[in-house]
Amino acid sequence: MEKREQLYEGKAKKVFLTDDPDLLIVSYKDDATAFDGQKKGTIVGKGAINNRMTNHIFRLLEKKGVPTHLVEELNDRETLVKKVEIVPLEVIIRNFSAGSFAKKLGMEEGIKLACPTLEFSYKNDDLHDPFINSYYALALNLATQEEIDAITKYAFTVNQVMREYFAGLGIELIDFKIEFGRYHGQIILADEVSPDTCRLWDKETHEKLDKDRFRRDLGNVEDAYQEVFRRLGIQ
Ligand code: ADP
Ligand code: UDP
């Protein structure tokens, strides 16, 4: 597969066209940002970990019936993926209170929710990704009802599969963000699943093994990413 010009450079990844109009190459960077890009830094080794972790989880999800953009891992940092039209919704699932949810609702972090919950943000940097519901998504033509139904169903399946999988690694899946895209009329899982996009706590010690270590200056950021990667057993 021939790598062609860069289509996009985001905060965590670069995206390249290929000689196949249906396929892209994503290249994961070590760059880290938080708080709407205001805080910037580097997490050494993050790109390779996030690339390989995403692909590992996406393979597992495919087996469980969730279609994904994964085509082929090309090397440590780069993966060939299906080129989708991203649905401009950040889909957030939560199992425990944390982050903006805990703050908004005046809760401590780490309280188990009575059931998993789902929320949408409108993926729009200028507006700082505002919280919206499915009626807004319909009213703004961001997705159809059928697409929202598919996204909701897949998102809860992703949660179920990942929760069980991480539990086996001694990790509690607190919350996560995923993105979906349209590929030849079908909704498929795109983007990434990594310590950048999930809150992962050690089940025993509740130590944070995710990007909150960077966001909150907790130290040992690289170690946390390495620890999650080590537990995946894919070295
Ligand atoms: P951001 O855009 O938030 O800075 P990234 O640095 O992760 O995020 O950039 C990757 C971009 O590529 C994101 O905007 C994401 O929605 C998009 N993307 C992810 N997977 C695909 C795909 N399969 N096809 C097209 N775009 C994708
Ligand atoms: N998240 C993300 N990208 C975003 C916003 C959130 O990957 O732009 C993830 C975040 O890592 C966490 C979950 O979504 O796992 C819920 O984040 P929250 O709404 O609590 O926001 P935050 O506290 O990160 O601002």
Tell me the C-alpha distance between 178 and 192, whole Å.
7
pLDDT at position 226: 98
- Pocket flag, ligand 2, residue 158 (CB < 6 Å): no
pLDDT at position 185: 97
pLDDT at position 74: 98
Q: Which domains does the chain have, with CATH numbers?
A: 3-82 (3.30.200.20), 85-220 (3.30.470.20)
| pLDDT over 70 percentage in the chain | 100
Query: Which single residue is written with the structure tokens 């179920």?
Result: 160
- Pocket flag, ligand 1, residue 29 (CB < 6 Å): no
- Pocket flag, ligand 1, residue 189 (CB < 6 Å): no
Measured in Å, residue 104 CA sits from the centre of ligand 2 at 13
Q: Is the pLDDT of residue 235 over 90?
A: no
pLDDT at position 1: 81
Average pLDDT over residues 128-133: 97
131, β-bridge pairs: 121
Q: Is the pLDDT of residue 63 over 90?
A: yes
Q: Which of 43, 67, 55, 87 is nearest to 181 (CA)?
A: 87
- The interaxial angle of helices 46-63 and 221-232, nearest 10 deg, is 30
* Among 14, 20, 23, 26, residue to substitute to test ligand 1 (most atoms within 8 Å of Cβ): 26
CA 194 to chain centre: 6
- pLDDT, tens digit, for every residue of 171-221? 999 999 999 999 999 999 999 999 999 999 999 999 999 999 999 999 999
- pLDDT, tens digit, for every residue of 144-180? 999 999 999 999 999 999 999 999 999 999 999 999 9
- pLDDT, tens digit, for every residue of 79-124? 999 999 999 999 999 999 999 999 999 999 999 999 999 999 999 9
